[in-house]
Amino acid sequence: MFAKGSLVWLASPLAVAVAVMSASIWFASMIGYVASVLLFLITILLACFFRDPERVIGNGAVSPADGRVAFIDQEGRRLSIVMGLRHVHVTRAPHSGTVAGLERRSGVHRPAYKDVSEKNERTEVVISSELGDLRMTLITGIIARRIFLYVRMGDELRKGDRVGIIRFGSRVDLQLPEGYRITVRLGSKVRAGESQIAEVVDDAA
């Protein structure tokens, strides 16, 4: 299964590859053969990037993204997940709720690490749950230049539903309300919709 909006990214290089290969066969061009092979490889790499597999939804609050936990604040209510090129880049709702806020902010495209990415382009998605608002921020990086959302204001989301995709990267921040306790550690590898990243504390259940 491929992510929404990926068809043009996959079809374009594939169509060019087929056309170049056909011309290479007709004109017996070695350069054309090499170019078509490279285009086919690019199509395969893009197909890997735009993959969107089904997930078995985990317990508690689940990870909004594939990647590695790169930051957890001292209060234990905010964390950052850095995504690599080999990860699935479709983001998912960490908890069930209603889309109560969408804010897109333009900015620069620096490496998506905490100490240098405060001015990067980003989109914040606020999900209103029974325990409060979860703020999910999708952040671009050097390679990642576009955030494509699947959701709109007022949408009802189930835990693990697809929220959007950051094309070719890069980082997702999650701010949890009171009532949750983060259960992952710095450096933990997580999978969107599948890995539990926080649990509801007993007195908030």
Q: Is 170 a catalytic residue?
A: yes
- The residue assigned the tokens 């350069």 is 31
- The residue assigned the tokens 């009171």 is 178
Q: To 10 degrees, what angle do helices 7-27 and 30-49 make?
A: 160
Q: Which residues pair with 146 in a beta bridge?
A: 167
- Say how many CA atoms lie within 13 Å of 99 toward its Cβ: 19
Q: Which residues pair with 135 in a beta bridge?
A: 126, 175
CA pair distance 175, 179, nearest whole angstrom:
12
Catalytic residue among 24, 170, 188, 195: 170
Q: Which residues are catalytic?
A: 170
